[in-house]
Amino acid sequence: MTTHTELPSMQESLLDVAGKKIFVAETGDGPPVLLLHGGGPGASGISNYHRNIAELAREYRVIVPDLPGYGRSTKGIYGADPFGYLAGSIRGLLDAFGLDKAHLVGNSYGGACALRLALDTPDRVDRMVLMGPGGIGTTRALPTPGLNSLLNYYSGDGPSRLKLEKFIRNHLVFNAADVPDSVIDARYRDSIDPEVVAAPPLRRPKSLRALWKMDFTRDARLSRLPVPTLVLWGAADKVNRPSGGRMLAERMPNCDLYVVANTGHWVQFERAELFNRLCADFLAGRR
């Protein structure tokens, strides 16, 4: 099995952003890069990127927040415009760090957050890497079985370890054996935090207006977005359809697309060495 670099020591802080607390861990020196995690049950920044942080920190100042609603950050999301809420929170985090702009790396829900931040305030984003981002063509087709599994986690008979394991092994990754039981155990513990159960951060849109607003392919600004962007999409992604990568490449003027064979929704985890190399080179302008 492939070995992965151990996590380096990281400085941790809990920052006040617009009256909410955002947990952040950081390490490394160089241009700032924010790693924005996905929205699955029990997700958090460090757990989402633990195979990437050390390698990227060789060249960058790596900043890894827990998005609002997750991990050690304040729980609750504004349901009428969740992507806008997340983007505003991360923009506030940039302000708290005194950063005029930064690179953004976003997986799934975090990719939607990064893309919305770039659309709203492109001057705050240097370069951007998106892995299977949410909100691409979501009004043009029914949700995938993987996305339905994710969205149904807190409904019905409520959260369970078996439910989470089925989502991760059957829908999140290409090779189920690549995910150790310890990852599922840790995510399950975090997913049943009473505050999270009371206000799940990822839900079905509350209205047609919200649904429309959450599909970036309906946003005319996408075709004018100047931010250089690399989109990485697993060819076997069962959560967000790989066809979303082509939609972005066709609409965005400065978008490179890399489709990753034999890979599901978690490119940075499943193909860590490839991801680390492509991401570091793209952010540095070497490709």
Per-residue model confidence as pLDDT tens digits over 173-222 = 999 999 999 999 999 999 999 999 998 988 888 778 888 889 999 999 99
CA 77 – CA 283 distance, rounded (Å): 30
Joined tokens for residue 71? 């991990």
Tell whether the model's pLDDT for residue 94 goes beyond 60: yes
Which residues are catalytically annotated? 265
Q: What confidence score (pLDDT) does residue 2 get?
A: 45
CA 43 – CA 49 distance, rounded (Å): 10
pLDDT band at 275 (very low <50, low <70, confident <90, very high): very high
Q: What confidence score (pLDDT) does residue 207 get?
A: 79
Which residues on adjacent β-strands are paired with residue 26? 11, 63
Residues 127-166 have pLDDT tens digits of 999 999 999 999 999 899 999 999 999 998 999 999 999 9
Q: What confidence score (pLDDT) does residue 5 get?
A: 66
Mean of all residue pLDDT scores within the chain: 94
φ/ψ of residue 151, rounded to 5: -70, -20
- The whole model's pTM is what? 0.96
Tell whether the model's pLDDT for residue 270 goes beyond 60: yes
Range list of β-strands (E), 99-247: 102-107, 125-131, 229-234
Rg (CA), the chain: 17
